[in-house]
Structure 1
């Protein structure tokens, strides 16, 4: 079963415009993410899917396969569904975010392995909440895990920006959702052709569309999440970490 990674890459981010073309140690954020994805042992290729000629040109400049997509997609997963046409022989499509230059290739491989052995509509990742991140922060999406379906793997019950499961008696263990997904090709196309669902529109979380379609999401719990870059502070911190190593 051939797996291909597709990285959705928008130019006009709200909180840090043009962030994917910002440089860390001489390489753009999108190039660093691409090179981490290339280190996956389970994927046979990496494609960058973008609606911006600037990103496509930059990607081709560092040797990546870049696909220009429509600009009106509602989510990154819809964008990769269009780009998947450029990989017609791929049975399994992996979606990783373009702003994660420190993503662990072993986590990508764990996601691919989970989905290959699962009957779920989609598979994703989660990790224990980092000590320096407040679970009550709505920007930190919580994965609510249900029954075990394998080693460190669970069926997802819900994803939310709220504090869940709510610890009525104090304490509580929370899982941070890691925004990487694996789909079989047919499931990806079904997702892209389905309308935005009610809960998806409320929480602004595209994975809720899958649950509202009546389908299952498998979740592999990994040890930690890569640090994405959403703000200027994130970018400054990434430069401090990566330019001094």
Structure 2
């Protein structure tokens, strides 16, 4: 019997770099709707829920047919928002899909759920593209031979010294799935020194000895972080619609 999985799309209005981002219209639809429409095509998900603390987002999402839950406004991250929902919506597995990821592939989400096994936390990695190694906005991940994360960083890791052969380099794709117990434990840990230094929430798991499996994927998901990303998203989504 498979895991009872709830997919949560955290969506907040008060982004410092792009206020109101979830409702930004791209190719005729709010960004949040593009993400939700991809999420509801996942076959291994019992339910898709938009979690927000903003009434404008709540009303818009409900109008296009989403289940929406209001959450507290003091959450530091989407994971904290998802954990609040987990307190009142029981499931075995909770998957966090950010509301600014319009290029997500539902088949890859299903594969993540299928291959998660008993790992406490599961996420994705993709091959690092040329020019991304020194970009601090692209999170890098180093894994052991079994696929468990050794470290996440904004720096160009691993460093290649004295002309040594370069190993494959990986970028982290920020889609997370948590076993229910792991989610409760994770949000109970205080942010550690590494998390605060790098500004990467996933380091909290490693600092507390929680294993994180990082599955390789060819999915070229990207986030809409600033208004300048809208044009890229529009071109991608229009091409995707035309291919159907």
Listed one character per residue, the Cα deviations across residues 21-43 of structure 1 (whole Å, up to 9, x for unaligned) are 01122211001101101111111
Alpha-carbon shift at residue 86 of structure 1 (Å): 4.0
SS of the residue 1:135 aligns to: coil
Structure-2 separation of matches of 1:211 and 1:125: 16
Q: What is the deviation of 1:59?
A: 0.9
- In 2, the alpha carbon distance for the partners of 1:207 and 1:241 equals 28
**By how many angstroms is 1:134 displaced?**
1.8
Partner of 2:145: 147
Structure 2 portions without partners, runs of 5+: none
TM-score (norm 1): 0.92
TM-score (ref. length: structure 2): 0.92
2:182 aligned residue: 187
SS at match of 2:61: helix
Does the aligned pair in 2 maintain the 1:110–1:220 contact within 8 Å?
no
Equivalence for 1:218: 213
* 1:172 Cα deviation after fit: 4.4
Structure 1 segment 28-43 matched on structure 2, within 5 A? 28-43=30-45
1:127 corresponds to 2:126: yes
Q: Which runs of no fewer than 5 residues in structure 1 stay unpaired?
A: 149-153
**2:154 pairs with 1:161:** yes
**In the aligned structure 2, how far is the partner of 1:194 from the partner of 1:22?**
34
1:100 aligned partner: 101
Deviation at 1:243, TM superposition (A): 3.2
Q: Is this contact kept in 1: 2:53–2:70, CA < 8 A?
A: yes
Deviations 1:1-33 (A, max 9, x none): 211100111111122221110112221100110
Partners of 1:128 and 1:224 within 8 A in 2: no
Instruction: Classify the secondary structure of the residue corresponding to 1:147.
Output: coil
Deviation, structure 1 residue 242:
2.1
Conserved in 1, the CA contact under 8 Å of 2:108 and 2:219?
Answer: no
- The whole-number CA distance in structure 2 between the counterparts of 1:61 and 1:147 is 46
